[in-house]
A = this chain, B = another copy of it.
Amino acid sequence: MRASRMLSILTTLQARGRVTAPALAEACEVSVRTIYRDIDALAASGVPVYADRGAEGGYRLLDGYRVRLNGLSQSEAGALFLAGLPGPAAALGLDAAMIAAQNKLMAALPENLREDAGRMQERFHLDAPGWFGEAEDPKHLRAIAGAVLRGTLIRIRYQSWRAEKQRRVAPLGLVLKGGSWYLAGQVDGSVRTYRVARVLDCTALDDRFDRPAGFDLAAYWQAATLRLEAEMHPNVAVVRLSPFGVKLLDALSQPYVKARTQLEETTDADGWRIARVPVGKTSWHAAAELLRLGPEAEVLEPADLREKMAEMTQAMAARYRAVRKARRQHTLSQPTKQS
C-alpha cells in the first residue's frame, strides 16, 4: 500500500506544485501522520521535497526537479536547441520566457545530452535580415501577436501603398520574412497579407472569430509569396546585353529574377546576346532595374519601355553635358566670386 501511495504523492507534487499533508491524506485515504512518514521516506530516497509551515504552507518539489526529460536521442536534443529565435522572441515580448524555458529544458536533459544541446546552441546563429537590411520592431507587433494567440478580432488603420485604410481583421498568423513581420489576416472571407510595420493603429476587440478549418500558415505563406513575387514582375523585357552586361545582370539580379531570366545561347556579330528579363509593373520600376546595367544593355522591347529608356538616357546625358559646358565656360572666364 505504502509504495504505490508514495508514487502517487510524487506524481501529485510534480503536477500540482504545492500540496498540503491534509490534502494528500484525504486523497490517499490515510492519516496525516502517515503522509508525514511518507514524505520523510521520499526525502530519504533522494527526492528533493520541501516543506513550508504555517498558513499557505505545504509540500513542494525543488523547482527544476519537476522537469525531467529522458528519451531524447543525441541529435533530437541538439535539434531542439537549433531552434531559438532571440530576435523574434524579443520582438514578441517573449525573450525572458524563452530564456527561462530553455534553461529549464537544458536542466531537464541528461548530462550527456546537455553538452550536445549546449554545443548546438553556441555554434549556430540566425540573423534574420538579409545584407544591408534591418530587423524591424513594428509598433503594434505585440498587440497583434496577442490577438493572434487569443483568436480575437482586431481593427487596424493601415497604410497601403495607395492610401490609408481601416479594416476589421481576423488575425490568423504572423510571419517573419527577411527581418520584416507580416500578418496573415482574414477580411470578408479571404485571407490577405499585411506588412505589420505599415499598421498605423491597432485596436484589439473582444470578439472571437472562427478560424478557417485546416488553415495552414506555412502553405498560405508559400502560395502568397509566389503570387506576390510574380505580381511584382508581371512583364518581360527583351534586352540586348554585352558580354560584360551578362555578368552584370547576373551579379545585380536577385534569385527570383535570375531563375526566370532566359538568356539566348547565340551571340550577334558584336558578341552581344538577347535576354528575356522579368521586370516590374511600372515603367519606372522596370527602367530603374535596367538602368543599372548602364551602356552594357539595350532594351529592345516592349516599345514603351524602350522609349522610356531613350528619354531617360537622353535627359541624363544632356544634364551631364550641360554642366560640362557650363564648367568649361567658367574656366575660360574670370573666376567666380565666392559668396
Contact = CB atoms under 8 A, between A and B. Distances in A.
Interface of A: 2-8, 10, 14-15, 38, 41-42, 44-45, 47, 63-64, 66-73, 75-80, 82-86, 88-89, 92, 94, 97-98, 100-102, 104-105, 108, 110, 116, 119-120, 122-134, 148-149, 172-179, 217-218, 221, 225, 229, 232, 248, 252, 254-257, 259, 284, 287-289, 291-295, 298, 306, 309-310, 312-321, 323-324
Q: Which 6 A-B pairs have the closest CB atoms?
A: A130-B178, A83-B83, A76-B101, A295-B315, A317-B317, A132-B256
A7 B47 contact: yes
A321 B315 contact: no
Copies in the complex: 2
Contacts of A86: 218
A22 to B, nearest CB: 21
A132 B255 contact: yes
A8 B45 contact: yes
B310 A295 contact: no
A281 B159 CA distance: 36
Given A83-B84, A178-B131, A324-B310, A108 B218 contact: no
B97 A78 contact: yes
A72 B82 contact: no
Contact of A131 (B5, B116, B229): B229
A279 to B, nearest CB: 12
Nearest to A222: B127
Nearest to A129: B178
Contacts of A7: 6-7, 10, 42, 45, 47
Given A133-B130, A217-B122, A321-B314, A75 B97 contact: yes
A131 B67 CA distance: 41
Contacts of A100: 73, 76
Contacts of A10: 7
A323 B303 CA distance: 13
Contacts of A178: 127-131, 133, 178-179
Contact of A45 (B4, B134, B287): B4
Given A3-B6, A257-B132, A321-B310, A67 B72 contact: yes
Contacts of A14: 68, 70
A80 B133 CA distance: 27
A126 B175 contact: yes
A232 to B, nearest CB: 8
B110 A15 contact: yes
Contact of A130 (B129, B259, B312): B129
Contacts of A248: 284, 288
A80 B68 contact: no
A323 B272 CA distance: 15
A74 B306 CA distance: 60
Contacts of A44: 4
A163 to B, nearest CB: 16
A110 B11 CA distance: 12
Contacts of A312: 294-295
